[in-house]
Structure 1
C-alpha cells in the first residue's frame, strides 16, 4: 500500500483549500487548468488507496462538490477516480470493515443520486433504440440476408422501431446487499458513457480494478505481483459486463498489456461462476483481438466507414420480367432517337410538353436564305408524325398487356407446381415461351 508522503500531502491540501476560496465566476477557468496539475492525480490516488488517511474524508467531499457543479470538466475529473473508489469500497466491504468505508460509500451514493435525476429533479428515463435488420447500417447489408417474402406480417414489421426503456431508479440512502450492484452497475454505466474523456491513469485504474475484483481470494491471485490479503468479492454478471466495456476501450487506447490481462481475469471469474453474459461478451472480445498491440494513435480517431456499400444493393432475385421489359423499352427508345430525332421534336398536344428552347436547340432542315417550305406540306407532315406516334403508343400498350398476361400465366404455373410437383411439363413451359 502506497503511503501519503509529505509532498503528496501538501499537493492535496493545496488543492482542497484552493477550490474553497474559488469565486463562482472563475470555475470555468479553474476546470480548464486542472489537468495541468500533474502531481495532483497521483496524490489523490494515494489518498483513496489508503483507507486510514485523514485526508480521505475531505477529498471525498471535495470530489462530490466538483461532481455537483455544472461544469462538465469538473464532473469528468471526479469520474476518473470511480474505478479506484469502487475497488476500495468492495475490498473493504468484503473485509467487513464498515467504519473506514463511510466516506467512500457516501461519495458513491451521492454520485448515483445526482445521475438518476435531471436538472429539474425529475427521474431520468433512458431509451435505447434496437436497430432493424431490414434496414442497412454500417455493420450489414440487408440484401445479404436474402429476399424475404412480402407477407402481411413482414410488411407490418418493416418500419417497426423497438425502443427499450431503462430508468426511474429509486433514491438510495445507504448500501445494502440487495441494491449494492444495482447502484454500482449504474455508476459504471455513467463511467463508460464518458470513457473517451478519461485519462490514461483512469484506464489503468479500471484494468487494475477488474483484475483484482475477479481473482482476489482465488488461486489465480498467487500468480499476480500484488500479494495483498483480500477476501473474495461477490460479483454479479451485469457488473462484469460493464467492466468488460471499460476494459475493451482501454485495450485499444494505450493499455494493451493491462487490458488483455484484465480481460483474461474476467473470463476466468466468469467461467468459475458460470455467468453466461460476461462469458459470451468476453469470448467475443478475446476472439476479435489482434495478434499484437494496436497502434495507440488509432485509438481515439473517429471510425471511418465506407460510404459506398461493398455489396450491391440490387440482388439477382430483383431481376424480374418487369425490369427486363423496362430495360427493353429504354433500349428501343434509344434506337428510335438515333434513327430519327425529328419525331421527338414535335410539340405533340397529347404529350403535354411544349418548349421553344428544345425546338430551337435542334438543327433546322431549312438552310439559311433558302426557300421556305409550303404550309400545306408542313401540316401534312405534322399530321403524319402525330398518327405514327399514336400508333406506336398503342402497339406498346398492346405489347405490355400481352407480357402482363404471360407473367400471370407463369405465376399460375409456378403456383400449380408448388401445390403439385411435376404438373408443369416441358411442353406447357414451351408454349408459354
Structure 2
C-alpha cells in the first residue's frame, strides 16, 4: 500500500504543469496519506531502497520551486531526514543513504546564497534596555534627556547585531562539518516552524528523543545477563549549538504541538546536556522546565505568541459568575427591639401625645395616674386662658368627649390645646389594668 501511494505521488509530481503547481501546492499539505507514506519510506530505507532516491529527488525539486508552500512541504520532513542520516552514520551505513545526504547538501547550499548568488547573511538586533521595544520601556530616557552621550549610546545599540552566516558552500559532508551543517538546517527549519503542519511538530519531538537517548539505558531498566541481550545502539554525537536549535523547536512545540511529547523531549535533552556538560544548553532547558509553572492550565489551550483581544463594537452586558454573589452580599437589616407592640383597640385610641414629665421623671406607666403637661406652645396663651385650662377637665361620656369645669362655666378660648389626664384603673376582676387615654384636641370658640 505504501509503495503504491508513493508511486502515484511521484507520477503526479512529474506530470505537473506550470499552471497546476499552485493548486497542487495548496493541497499537498493536507494529504496525510502521502505524508505518512514518505515517512515510512525514510524510516525503513532497507525495505524501500529503490524508492528513497526518487523521493529525495522529488522533494528537492519541490523545494527549488517558486511556490513557498512546496518549499515548506519539504522542510516538514527535515527532522526525520537529519535523524535518518545521523543514525546511518553512527551505524557505519553511510553508503546506504547517499540520496538523503545529497538532499541535505542541496538544502544547505540553497540557503547559503541569496537569489543573486551572493553569500546570505541573516542579522537581527536584540532588544536593549536603552531603547524601547515590544518587551519593555526605556528606564530613564525622556525627550528632555536626549544628550550627546545618550544619542551615542543609542547608536551603539544598533551596531550590536546578531548575525547568521555567511555559510561556505559544500560538496560533501565530512565529520568536521557534519554537525555544523545539521545545526544550520535546523536553523532554517525554525525560521518556518510557525507555518508547518502539526504532524511535522509531532515528528520533531519523536526524532529529538531518539537523537539524545540512543545508546543510553533507560532509567530504572536493568541489563539482563541472559544470552538474548539486545545489542546496544551506538550513540549519536551532538554539539551544544545543535541541542540549542532542538530546544528552540521543542519550546514552540510545547504550545502548538503535542505538549506531552515536547515536554518529555525537553527533559531528555536536559539529561543529555548534563551528561555532556553543556552549560548553555542546561541553562536554556532549565528555563523551559521552570517556566511551566507560569503557563499552568494554558499550555494546551493557547498558542505561543501575542494574543490581541479586540472588543466588539456593540457593548454587551458582562456575565457575572455565580461564585461572585454569596449570602454575605445581602445584609439583612435587623428591626430595633424597642418598637412597642400595638394592641388593636377601639377607634381613636393610641393617639395620645407624649408626656414630657414622663421622659424627664422616668415614671412607670402602670404605677398610677400620669399627668401630662401642656405642650410648649401653650405658653403663648394669655394668663386667663392658662388658668381655665388648669381648672378644667375632659371626661369621656359614652364614647364622646365632654368638658367639665370646676366653676360650671363654658370654656371660652379662642384656640387651645386641651390635655387630659390618663388614669389607670383596675378592671373588675383585678387582673388587667384599664387605661383611660386622653387626647390633645384643639377647641375653637364660636
Query: TM-score, normalization: structure 1?
Result: 0.64
Q: Contact between 1:237 and 1:278, CA under 8 Å: does it hold in 2?
A: yes
In the TM superposition, what is the alpha-carbon distance from 1:220 to its structure 2 partner?
Answer: 2.9
Q: Contact between 2:209 and 2:269, CA under 8 Å: does it hold in 1?
A: yes
In the TM superposition, what is the alpha-carbon distance from 1:297 to its structure 2 partner?
Answer: 4.9
**1:68 and 2:72 are equivalent in the alignment:** no
**1:22 and 2:16 are equivalent in the alignment:** yes
Q: Contact between 1:216 and 1:231, CA under 8 Å: does it hold in 2?
A: yes
Q: Contact between 1:215 and 1:221, CA under 8 Å: does it hold in 2?
A: no
Query: What runs of 5+ residues in structure 2 fail to find an aligned partner?
Result: 222-229, 311-446
Alignment: residue pair count: 296
Once residues 68 and 175 of structure 2 are traced to their aligned partners in structure 1, the CA distance between those partners, rounded to angstroms, is 32
Q: Contact between 1:256 and 1:293, CA under 8 Å: does it hold in 2?
A: no
2:83 corresponds to: 87
1:125 corresponds to: 121
Q: Contact between 1:91 and 1:230, CA under 8 Å: does it hold in 2?
A: no
1:97 to 93, 96, 105: 93
Q: What's the CA shift string for 1:12-45, capped at 9, x where partnerless?
A: 1100011111112211111112133221111111
**1:303 and 2:303 are equivalent in the alignment:** no
In the TM superposition, what is the alpha-carbon distance from 1:228 to its structure 2 partner?
Answer: 8.7
Q: Contact between 2:122 and 2:163, CA under 8 Å: does it hold in 1?
A: yes
Q: Bigger shift: 154-163 or 20-29?
A: 154-163
The 3 A distance-change label for structure 1 pair 176 and 40 is same
2:193 to 179, 192, 195: 195
**1:34 and 2:38 are equivalent in the alignment:** no
**1:113 and 2:113 are equivalent in the alignment:** no
**1:287 and 2:290 are equivalent in the alignment:** yes
In the TM superposition, what is the alpha-carbon distance from 1:129 to its structure 2 partner?
Answer: 1.3
Once residues 183 and 22 of structure 2 are traced to their aligned partners in structure 1, the CA distance between those partners, rounded to angstroms, is 30
Q: Contact between 2:202 and 2:257, CA under 8 Å: does it hold in 1?
A: no
Q: Contact between 1:252 and 1:296, CA under 8 Å: does it hold in 2?
A: yes
In the TM superposition, what is the alpha-carbon distance from 1:262 to its structure 2 partner?
Answer: 0.3
Query: What runs of 5+ residues in structure 1 fail to find an aligned partner?
Result: 1-6, 307-433
Q: Secondary structure of 1:219's match?
A: coil
Task: State the structure with bigger RCO (CA 8 A, min sep 6), 1 or 2.
Answer: 1
2:183 corresponds to: 185
**1:77 and 2:78 are equivalent in the alignment:** no
Q: What's the CA shift string for 1:261-320, capped at 9, x where partnerless?
A: 0000000000011101211111111111147563545216643499xxxxxxxxxxxxxx
Q: Secondary structure of 2:139's match?
A: helix
Once residues 222 and 17 of structure 1 are traced to their aligned partners in structure 2, the CA distance between those partners, rounded to angstroms, is 49
Once residues 237 and 215 of structure 1 are traced to their aligned partners in structure 2, the CA distance between those partners, rounded to angstroms, is 15
Q: Secondary structure of 2:271's match?
A: helix
**1:234 and 2:232 are equivalent in the alignment:** no
In the TM superposition, what is the alpha-carbon distance from 1:229 to its structure 2 partner?
Answer: 5.0
1:23-422, aligned counterparts within 5 Å?
A: 23-52=17-46, 53=48, 54-143=50-139, 155-160=151-156, 161=158, 162-220=160-218, 229-290=232-293, 292=296, 294=298, 296-299=300-303, 302-304=306-308
CA RMSD of aligned residues (A): 2.6
Structure 1 segments (4+ residues) deviating >4 Å: 149-155
2:365 corresponds to: none
Q: What's the CA shift string for 1:31-85, capped at 9, x where partnerless?
A: 1121332211111110010121121111111111110111100000000000011
In the TM superposition, what is the alpha-carbon distance from 1:134 to its structure 2 partner?
Answer: 1.2
The 3 A distance-change label for structure 1 pair 40 and 145 is same
In the TM superposition, what is the alpha-carbon distance from 1:145 to its structure 2 partner?
Answer: 11
Q: Contact between 2:252 and 2:304, CA under 8 Å: does it hold in 1?
A: no
Q: Contact between 1:244 and 1:282, CA under 8 Å: does it hold in 2?
A: yes
The 3 A distance-change label for structure 1 pair 239 and 37 is same
Once residues 280 and 68 of structure 2 are traced to their aligned partners in structure 1, the CA distance between those partners, rounded to angstroms, is 32
Once residues 155 and 47 of structure 1 are traced to their aligned partners in structure 2, the CA distance between those partners, rounded to angstroms, is 59
Once residues 83 and 112 of structure 1 are traced to their aligned partners in structure 2, the CA distance between those partners, rounded to angstroms, is 14
Once residues 221 and 58 of structure 1 are traced to their aligned partners in structure 2, the CA distance between those partners, rounded to angstroms, is 40
Query: TM-score, normalization: structure 2?
Result: 0.62
